[in-house]
């Protein structure tokens, strides 16, 4: 309802241009003056609340889980960052680099691996087994040749470090495939695998941990600093990149489970841990490989889908073969494995749907052309 500002005549629901009682022109503001009263009356069902705001829908369970994971991982990453800075200050110290051949931390790590293998010859000292030792020796020799080839170049010489002689001709003529940087990076990953599985086996585990830290630092920054992959895939699918947190969380839980008992013991002998189970090295290596690849550039997209399927099948197969319902280790391994498996499946599902869409589009194009 509106009124004339001059004589107070009630216009009702009409909208005249002048007042019929006094002839005064009526403006739009006078006509709209009573609109608020009309809307604020009994028709609205109560008084108008100006502080009312629209409430967003509750987050999904996945969003809540991601938020919880972020809160839990934040202090862990902070502590890991501080520890990493401490190790970095020691490993990057020029006084240490000046005493290494070519200033190479990889050669230092190879020496520590050799020391660990040499100590395992002693009968009372635990080792990684004969087959594992042979693999580490042969693989380490190839890594040493590649590192020697890189550091023998004049531009790669570390200032103040002892210079390396040129690589012998017999070693310089090895096939080009043996020079791939992934050889040294996977060797460092295998060293980290053995170091994790050797935890709790006495002083020799300290040697393996030190070798894993040195090799992991030197080869790790080369691995994560490699920008050869196209980062545009992250912009196309940013939600897929967030999956790496779940892979890392699952791998950490599975690694912890491998240190727990997996076999039933007796009053005199403890049960075997997951690290002592057959083929546990392959399982731990698979977990570390997935975790490291998941946080690098394109995440799991760097792997061929077939390799991801093989990794998922292997983890499930090894778990069911080694599972014992009477021990605590498998019950910690199971949720971590399920997280990794679900992440791989979730990563592969868009690929499958995309491939089906492409096939349907191609078939429709052929029908139109035919």
Residue 157 pLDDT: 65
CB burial of 252-267 (b: ≥16 within 10 Å; e: otherwise) equals bbbbebbbbbbbeeee
d(CA 221, CA 216): 8
Residue 173 pLDDT: 80
d(CA 153, CA 44): 83
- 115, with CB counted inside 10 A (0-12, 13-18, 19+), is middle
Cβ atoms of 112 and 173 within 8 Å: the answer is no
Cβ atoms of 298 and 240 within 8 Å: the answer is no
Residue 98 pLDDT: 79
Bridge partners, 25 (sequence order) = 18
d(CA 284, CA 197): 8
Which string of DSSP letters, residue by residue, matches 263-283? Answer: S---SSSPPPBGGGSTTHHHH
Residue 5 pLDDT: 67
At a CB cut-off of 8 Å and minimum separation 6, what does 282 contact? Answer: 314, 318
d(CA 112, CA 139): 14
Residue 86 pLDDT: 77
Residue 369 pLDDT: 47
Residue-wise pLDDT tens for the chain (370 aa)?
A: 566 766 766 666 666 666 766 766 666 555 555 444 444 444 444 455 555 555 666 766 666 666 766 676 667 667 767 777 777 777 777 788 778 887 788 999 999 999 999 998 888 888 888 999 999 999 999 999 988 888 877 666 666 667 677 778 778 788 888 888 889 999 999 999 999 999 888 889 999 999 999 999 888 888 877 665 555 544 444 555 566 778 988 999 999 999 999 987 766 677 788 888 999 999 999 999 999 888 876 678 878 889 999 999 999 999 999 988 889 999 999 999 999 999 999 888 865 554 455 455 444 444 444 4
Chain position carrying tokens 């910690």: 332
The beta strands (E) that lie in 287-366 are given as none
Cα angle 368, 369, 370; round to 5: 90
Report how many helices (DSSP H) and strands (DSSP E) the chain contains, helices first: 15, 2
Give me the phi and psi of 25, to 5 degrees please: -65, 140
Residue 39 pLDDT: 45
CA atoms within 13 A on the CB side of 149: 18
Could you tell me the pTM of the whole model? Answer: 0.71
Cα angle 14, 17, 22; round to 5: 95
């Amino acid at each position: 309802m509106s009124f004339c500002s001059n004589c107070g005549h009630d216009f009702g629901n009409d909208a005249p241009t002048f007042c019929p009682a006094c002839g005064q022109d009526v403006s739009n503001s006078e006509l709209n003056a009573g609109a608020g009263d009309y809307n604020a009356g009994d028709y609205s069902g109560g008084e108008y609340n100006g502080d009312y705001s629209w409430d967003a829908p509750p987050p999904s369970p996945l969003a809540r889980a991601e938020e919880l994971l972020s809160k839990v991982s934040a202090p862990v990453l902070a502590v890991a960052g501080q520890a990493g800075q401490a190790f970095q200050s020691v490993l990057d110290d020029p006084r240490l680099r000046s005493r290494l051949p070519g200033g190479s931390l990889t050669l230092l790590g190879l020496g520590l691996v050799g020391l660990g293998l040499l100590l395992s010859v002693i009968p009372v000292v635990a080792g990684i087994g004969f087959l594992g030792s042979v693999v580490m020796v042969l693989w380490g020799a190839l890594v040493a040749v590649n590192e020697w080839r890189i550091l023998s170049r004049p531009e790669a010489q570390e200032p103040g470090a002892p210079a390396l002689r040129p690589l012998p001709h017999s070693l310089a003529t090895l096939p080009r495939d043996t020079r791939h940087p992934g050889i040294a990076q996977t060797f460092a990953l295998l060293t980290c695998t053995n170091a994790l599985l050797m935890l709790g086996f006495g002083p020799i585990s300290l040697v393996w941990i030190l070798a894993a830290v040195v090799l992991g630092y030197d080869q790790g920054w080369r691995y994560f600093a490699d920008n050869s992959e196209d980062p545009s895939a992250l912009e196309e699918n940013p939600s897929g990149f967030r999956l790496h947190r779940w892979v890392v969380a699952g791998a950490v839980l599975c690694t912890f489970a491998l240190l727990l008992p997996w076999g039933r013991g007796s009053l005199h002998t403890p049960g075997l841990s997951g690290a002592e189970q057959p083929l546990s090295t392959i399982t731990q290596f698979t977990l570390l490989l997935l975790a490291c690849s998941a946080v690098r550039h394109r995440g799991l997209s760097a792997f061929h889908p077939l390799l991801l399927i093989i990794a998922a099948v292997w983890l499930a197969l090894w778990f069911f073969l080694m599972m014992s319902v009477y021990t605590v280790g498998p019950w910690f391994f199971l949720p971590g494995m399920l997280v990794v498996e679900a992440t791989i499946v979730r990563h592969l599902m868009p690929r499958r749907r995309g491939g089906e869409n492409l096939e349907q589009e191609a078939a429709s194009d052929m029908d139109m052309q035919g």
